[in-house]
Amino acid sequence: MLEIKNLHARIAEDGTEILRGVDLTVKPGEVHAIMGPNGSGKSTLSYILAGKEDYEVTEGDILFNGESILEMAPEERASAGVFLAFQYPIEIPGVATMTFLKSAMNAQRKARGEEELSTPEFMRRVKDKAGELQVTMDMLKRPLNVGFSGGEKKRAEILQMALLEPSLCVLDETDSGLDIDALRVVAEGVNKLRSPERSTVVITHYQRLLDHIVPDVVHVLSKGRIVKTGGKELALELEKNGYAEFVGAAA
Amino acid sequence: MNMEPRGMESHAETEIAELFDKLRQDLPGAAEVARSREAAFAAFRQNGLPHRRVEDWKYSDLRNRLKSVPAFAAPRDDAAAGAIVAAAGDVYAAVDRYRLVLVDGRFHAGLSDVAALASEGVVVRPLAEALAEDGADLFEVPEIAADNAAIGLNAIFCGDGLVLTIADNTRLSKPVEIVHALSADAAVSTAERVVVKAGAGSEVTLLETFVGGTEGSFANSVSDFRVATGAKLVAARLQTEAAGTTHVGTALVTQDADSAVKLIGAGIGAGFARHQSFVRFNGENSRADLLGITMVRGGQHVDQTLVVDHAVPHCDSRELFKTVVDDDAKGIFQGKIIVRPHAQKTDGQMMTQSLLLSEHADMALKPELEIFADDVQCAHGATSGQIDEDLLFYLRARGIPEAEARTLLVLAFLSEAVEEIGDEVVVEAFEERIRSWLSAKE
């Protein structure tokens, strides 16, 4: 599904090196967690997967279903099945949430050569998924993410993910800013999407999200490299001992 | 006042003087009207066309723009005029409305719903006739517009237009569209005037469309809204003239007590456009909302100038102007709120925002407050920015192609002004024009 090979990347504007040789392979159906201290490059990795132009890949490659996506525009990656749930979902005043959802779903369908959704079919899908994620009609009537609480924004992200049905879900600190109830709703939403054909990369600082979204593999990212890989018990270990060991190790 | 000595008379200025010499005998109106034309002409001889050293025209040098002034069109029959209107397109085709038609500055009763409007309490007269009957009152303008060069030029030549008199307490069942069409096969000048007298307690929605034109056309149009006590008037002005046109459009608003006016302007067309609005409160407890939606690209130049005169206490004014500038185009916003010494409890809020879509796009912003009363609430704000790359990335990361994502963000930028329009008919027509503007981008 996803193969990241010796990925080096820097900030385009000032040349600051962030990723220094990341290797990661995620097979279909697997859930991988990437943990690490602040500044280790976790969010950068997620942005690079989605195609943000603020970063420059200087070495290595990202293969998605066997093909390099480095030259693909963000919208092409999205249509191919890559979805990034943002750490800070963006508020866009003036863009109605429903208009946005419909534009996104139909743009992806069009890019894949599928027929656009009819309005009733679109509405039916939104209503079904929104109910499960406790996204109310009132929220959907508002401009995109505007006036949403932290928890509402994260639920709205997962709603988008459920509607767009990507094959690779990248969750960037989806647990940040969530109370325990909201965390459970979001995690249930993610778990519902788990399937043998769909892979998930969960980026998180804390172990608590992984109580709900149980990973197959846990990686520790530090100073732009994966410094340790293990099973789900690695997350518990990190929770107990902190990242100090790895910060030192990678230096 | 020290006047800058006038330089050489420009070719266009010579043409204007010659045109007036030729036309002055035949222009409509009694002696009193002729006197105001002569006075306006004398001012023109003194000052010439407005240019960049005149403060109000600093960013829009009409003297430099007008290389030549085409002749006014000869009268046409309704069939020929109707063909010009049909060729210019009908943005309100789907709307149930009354229509009043001006072609190249002349009113065509035969193409207009005069009888139907009469049955609803609206008297429509050609301005040429009214000038003979009512005299120079039709040329009177609020003090803040008295020295305006474009209005003066209009007064010199104004040969026709419309007078719309809406009886007291009349509520029209549907909107009235006033079509200002320019012929597209040959450049002409116009100097037309529409005077709307909205009677006490009346309610009306006017849809003014400015369409047609060709390289070298020079449209100079004045719409004068005189709003009596308790009246409500909405005037939506949509200017989509051809690229080579020079458009000078003025809206004059005079409001008596307890009245409400919403003036909505969308400027998309013409190569060089000056849209100017002057609002004067004459009675207390009135409100004026001014909305501007301007979109320019290529080498277009568009100027939004407005002056709101709070001459009496207890009035509210709201100004929201959004400008989208692409390519090498230039946008200008000059807005002034004046609060006279005794106009206490004035509430005036002016906001102007611009979105620059290219490196070379240019926007000049000049908000001004002149406040002489001490118990007022007034504020102005001005912003200018580009498309937010983070917003763009978010939309693209969801699969929306870049061009479509940019369109969504431009619509989002304009949406606040579009929502303020309120009237569904106008919203739909304006959104349609905005979308077609956006999709016309190569």
- pLDDT score for B136: 84
Which residues, given as ranges, of chain B have pLDDT below 70?
1-7, 442
Number of domains observed in the structure of chain A: 1
- pLDDT score for A208: 87
Residues 6+ apart with CB under 8 A from B248: B62, B150, B153, B218, B219, B220, B221, B273, B274, B276
Instruction: Read off φ and ψ for residue B7, nearest 5 degrees.
Output: -80, -160
Residues 6+ apart with CB under 8 A from B41: B20, B24, B156
Chain A contact set for B408 (CB, 8 A):
95, 99-100, 103
Q: Exposed (0-12), middle (13-18) or buried (19+): which is B114, by Cβ within 10 Å?
A: middle
What residue in A sits closest to B416 (Cα-Cα)?
A: A94
* Residue A179 structural domain: 2-250
Q: How is residue B215 written in tokens? A: 């390289």
Residues 6+ apart with CB under 8 A from B387: B355, B357, B406, B409, B410
A113-155 confidence digits (pLDDT tens):
999 999 999 999 999 999 888 899 999 999 999 999 888 999 9
Confirm whether B178 is domain-assigned. Answer: yes
State the complex-level ipTM: 0.95
Q: Which residues make beta-bridge pairs with B165?
A: B123, B197
Chain A contact set for B405 (CB, 8 A):
75
Residues 6+ apart with CB under 8 A from B2: none
CA distance A70 to chain B (A): 14
Same domain, B257 and B402: no
- State the DSSP string of B151-204: HHHHHHH--EEEEEEEPTT-B-SS-EEEEEEE-SSS--EEEEEEEEEE-TT-EE
Rounded (10°) angle between helices A150-164 and A97-111: 30
The Cα A57–Cα A224 span in angstroms is: 13
Measured at the CA of A170, the angle between CA A168 and CA A176, to 5 degrees, comes to 155
What residue in A sits closest to B390 (Cα-Cα)?
A: A90
B142-181 confidence digits (pLDDT tens):
999 999 999 999 999 999 999 999 999 999 999 999 999 9
pLDDT in tens, chain A (251 residues): 999 999 999 999 999 999 999 999 999 999 999 998 888 999 999 999 999 999 999 999 999 999 999 999 999 999 999 999 999 999 999 999 999 999 999 999 999 999 999 999 999 999 999 988 889 999 999 999 999 988 899 999 999 999 999 999 999 999 888 888 889 989 999 999 999 999 999 999 888 899 999 999 999 999 999 999 999 899 888 888 888 877 765 44
Chain-centroid distance of CA A218 in Å reads 15
Q: Inform me whether the C-beta atom of residue A64 falls under 8 Å from chain B C-beta atoms.
A: no
Instruction: Read off φ and ψ for residue B128, nearest 5 degrees.
Output: -55, -40
Nearest to A198 by CA among A221, A164, A224, A232: A164
Q: Inform me whether the C-beta atom of residue A92 falls under 8 Å from chain B C-beta atoms.
A: yes
Among the partner residues A51, A94, A107, nearest to B404 by beta-carbon distance? A107
The Cα B127–Cα B125 span in angstroms is: 6
CA distance A88 to chain B (A): 10
Q: Is the Cβ–Cβ distance between B240 and B88 less than 8 Å?
A: no
The sheet that has B347-356: what strands, in order across it? B106-107, B98-103, B176-182, B203-212, B232-239, B260-267, B287-296, B316-325, B347-356, B377-385
Measured at the CA of B264, the angle between CA B263 and CA B268, to 5 degrees, comes to 145
Among the partner residues A74, A94, A95, nearest to B393 by beta-carbon distance? A74
Nearest to A92 by CA among B358, B397, B430: B397
What residue in A sits closest to B404 (Cα-Cα)?
A: A103
CA distance B134 to chain A (A): 48
Q: How many residues does chain A have?
A: 251
Q: How is residue A170 written in tokens? A: 């990248």
Q: How is residue B278 written in tokens? A: 């002057």
Q: Is the Cβ–Cβ distance between B85 and B103 less than 8 Å?
A: yes
CA dihedral of residues B247, B248, B251, B252 (deg, nearest 10): -160
- pLDDT score for B4: 53
User: Which residue, B251, B283, B315, sits at the end of a domain?
Assistant: B283
Chain A contact set for B394 (CB, 8 A):
86, 89-90, 92
CA distance A91 to chain B (A): 8
- pLDDT score for A54: 94
Q: Which residues make beta-bridge pairs with B166?
A: B122, B198
Q: How is residue B147 written in tokens? A: 């020295």
Q: Is the Cβ–Cβ distance between B258 and B230 less than 8 Å?
A: yes
Mark yes or no for CB contact B390/A90 under 8 Å: yes
CA distance B360 to chain A (A): 22
Mark yes or no for CB contact A51/B416 under 8 Å: no
CA dihedral sign, ordered B22, B23, B26, B29: negative
The Cα A243–Cα B91 span in angstroms is: 65
> Coil, helix or strand for B243?
coil
What residue in A sits closest to B387 (Cα-Cα)?
A: A92
Q: Is the Cβ–Cβ distance between B389 and B359 less than 8 Å?
A: no
Q: Is the Cβ–Cβ distance between B438 and B408 less than 8 Å?
A: no
The Cα A238–Cα A36 span in angstroms is: 9
Mark yes or no for CB contact B399/A50 under 8 Å: no
- pLDDT score for A248: 60
- pLDDT score for A250: 45
Which H or E run includes B127? helix B127-134
Same domain, B168 and B34: yes
CATH code of A67's domain: 3.40.50.300
Direct distance between the N- and C-terminal alpha carbons of chain B, in angstroms, rounded to an integer = 50
User: Which residue, B283, B318, B337, sits at the end of a domain?
Assistant: B283
- pLDDT score for B228: 98
Q: Which residues make beta-bridge pairs with B232?
A: B203, B260
- pLDDT score for B6: 60
Interface list for A 132-191 with B (CB within 8 A):
143, 160, 164
Confirm whether B320 is domain-assigned. Answer: no
Interface test with B, best of A11, A77, A100, A160 (most B CBs within 10 A): A100
Instruction: Read off φ and ψ for residue B422, nearest 5 degrees.
Output: 80, -55
Same domain, B266 and B403: no
Residue B133 burial (CB count, 10 A): 11
CA distance B396 to chain A (A): 5
CA distance B391 to chain A (A): 7
Instruction: Read off φ and ψ for residue B339, nearest 5 degrees.
Output: -120, 115
Q: How is residue A88 written in tokens? A: 């800070």
Interface test with A, best of B293, B383, B398 (most A CBs within 10 A): B398
DSSP designation for A198: B
- pLDDT score for A37: 87
- pLDDT score for B1: 45
Chain A contact set for B389 (CB, 8 A):
53-54
Q: How is residue B261 written in tokens? A: 């006016």
Residues 6+ apart with CB under 8 A from B117: B98, B100, B123, B124, B176
Among the partner residues A50, A92, A107, nearest to B391 by beta-carbon distance? A92
Direct distance between the N- and C-terminal alpha carbons of chain A, in angstroms, rounded to an integer = 31
The Cα B282–Cα B144 span in angstroms is: 13
Same domain, B263 and B410: no
- pLDDT score for B351: 97
* Residue B407 structural domain: 388-441
- pLDDT score for A177: 82
Q: What pTM was estimated for this model as a whole?
A: 0.90
Nearest to B404 by CA among A114, A117, A66, A102: A102
Mark yes or no for CB contact A164/B401 under 8 Å: no
- pLDDT score for A249: 52
User: Which residue, B253, B283, B313, sits at the end of a domain?
Assistant: B283
Instruction: Read off φ and ψ for residue A152, nearest 5 degrees.
Output: -65, -40
Number of domains observed in the structure of chain B: 2
CA B101 → CA B50, B188, B440, distances in Å? 30, 17, 28
CA A136 → CA A131, A139, A184, B167, distances in Å? 7, 5, 17, 49
